[in-house]
Structure 1
Amino acid sequence: MPGLLLGDVFPNFHAETTDGSIQFHDFLGDSWCVLFSHPGDFTPVCTTELGRAARLCAEFTKRGVKMVALSVDSLEDHHDWSKDILAYCSMESERSSLPYPVIADQKRELALALGMMDPDEKDKDGLPLTARCVRTSGLYPVTLQPCSQLPSAVFIIGPDKRLKLSLLYPASTGRNFDEILRVVDSLQLTATKRVATPADWQPGDSVMVPPSMSEAEASVLFPAGVFTKEVPSKRKYLRYTPQP
């Protein structure tokens, strides 16, 4: 299968999970989705990540986002590991299972098909570990490597079943789920409003007006006003407006 590019329709795969069988597009429905992979059960960094994801699951749900994890071990191991994860994040008294499904991918067929295999990271049997990618779509054209060359392991998929963003981390560095949540806020905003979000943007901050938009059009679309950051070049391309 060719590597996934931003904007591609995400594969409609079938999988066995801790919550039962899923057909991915049916599971997605009209929701957004965050799919994140892990190199194996009972691994320390991944345990902290799944625990943080469990703690933040309500925040993702509030935004209409479903979460699903993938690990290259059995369902039995997933269920046992889930108990450790819940204990780690002090949720064992609140629930008996994780608030999102974990896909079993013992043969690594799905991880391979989705371009999640990291050729430089091997397990004890010499098999590639699933990696974790930062490539994001936006208002401006970019040249992207296919996922078959750039392994990825966090996918954000939109309600249109298309890939919106992918993230990559090495196995030694834990993911920042607060950042993933912030990215979801940006993607959902820019999907419906003709704006971009600047560096370190947080919900409620001012957003940027794209350079392709004329002053006249901007004044109509953004009645709260548009202000420009002056720079030495005198080019008026750093335009901001309060978040719509």
Structure 2
Amino acid sequence: MEHMNAPESINLMPRIGDTAPDFEALTTKGKIKFSEFAPDKWVVLFSHPADFTPVCTTEMSGFAQRKAEFDALNTELIGLSIDSIHAHLGWVQNVRENTGVYFDFPIIADLDMKVSKRYGMLQPNESETAAVRAVFFIDPAKKIRLIMYYPLNVGRNMDEILRALEALQVSDKHRVALPLDWKRGEKVIVPPPKTLDELNTRLADETLEKVDWYLAKKELQN
């Protein structure tokens, strides 16, 4: 019965495969209702601990500088922190004035922590008032496909975020799996056989790179 006493934040933490929790929020691009946001697109929803902080500035700048790559992957960005809309706007302008980098995507003002709690971004043993560095990959059906969590003091890896996003899309499109360190243009893993007929077909297929009968790779055709 111990699980009945678990903290509310744990009960609310969404998991891979769940429908992304819906919410309405004020952002630097205006008010949004998430279930109606960016129809037919992927969404990368990410939180940062606070505006006007060093690591967060580098991360938000990284998302902004590589926004065209997310656009090319049919993906919208949404940032979040437990700050006011005025703090967000001031920070966006401060970074633009000092570095020329413009955060041209919505940043949620989550002062009441409603979205942070709904997405499990508050980790009490890390901080009860600042969201950890969470990243949610959400597909066009609004299903959560991948989740990353980082502590407050460690910045994320933008190459890995883009790699993981593209891997999810390639896997969906071609019904394949992706091996360790997979990058665009590299071979993918075909699903293992489920019957003897499929096994025999696999063994006879000379187009596959077969490590063994259960592990085979192939080139993707454009």
Q: Same fold (TM over 0.5)?
A: yes
1:102 aligns with 2:107: yes
CA contact (8 A) 2:26 2:109 kept: yes
AA of the residue aligned to 2:103: L
Which structure dedicates a bigger proportion of its chain to helix? Answer: 2
Is residue 172 from structure 1 mapped to residue 182 from structure 2 by the alignment?
no
1:120 offset after TM fit, Å?
Answer: 1.9
Q: Corresponding residue for 1:200?
A: 181
Could you tell me whether the CA contact under 8 Å between 1:48 and 1:88 is conserved in 2?
no
Q: Which secondary structure state, in structure 2, belongs to the residue aligned with residue 118 of structure 1?
A: coil
Question: What TM-score do you get using the length of structure 2 for normalisation?
Answer: 0.86
Could you tell me which amino acid in structure 1 is paired with residue 43 of structure 2?
C
C-alpha separation in 2, matches of 1:113 and 1:11: 7
Residue 117 (structure 2) pairs with residue 112 (structure 1):
yes
Q: Percent identity?
A: 38
Q: Secondary structure at the match of 1:28?
A: coil
For residues 173 and 212 of structure 1, do their structure 2 counterparts lie closer, same or farther at Cα, with a shift above 3 Å needed? farther
TM-score (normalizing by structure 1): 0.79
Asked if structure 2 preserves the Cα contact closer than 8 Å seen for 1:209 and 1:218, the reply is no
CA-atom RMSD in angstroms: 2.1
- Superposed displacement of residue 87, structure 1: 4.5
Aligned: 1:225 with 2:207: yes
- The amino acid across from 1:37 in the alignment is S
> Which residue in the other structure is 2:6 paired with?
none
Asked if the contact 2:12/2:117 (under 8 Å) is kept, the reply is no
Aligned residues: 208
Cα separation, 1, equivalents of 2:93 and 2:202: 52
SS at match of 2:177: coil
> Is 1:161 matched with 2:161?
no
Q: Aligned partners of 1:224, 1:184: CA distance in 2, in Å?
A: 30
CA separation of 1:12 and 1:219: change in aligned 2, threshold 3 A: farther
Conserved? CA contact 1:55–1:89, under 8 Å? no
Matches within 5 A, 1:33-182: 33-87=43-97, 89-91=99-101, 97-122=102-127, 127-132=128-133, 153-182=134-163
Q: Does structure 1 conserve the Cα–Cα contact (< 8 Å) formed by 2:83 and 2:109?
A: yes
Is 1:184 aligned with 2:165? yes
Note the alpha carbon deviations across 1:97-155, whole angstroms, 9 max, x for none: 52110000012121011111111223xxxx332112xxxxxxxxxxxxxxxxxxxx110
Q: Which runs of 5 or more residues in structure 1 are unaligned?
A: 92-96, 133-152, 230-234
Structure 2 unaligned spans of 5+: 1-10
Change (3 A) 1:218 1:42: farther
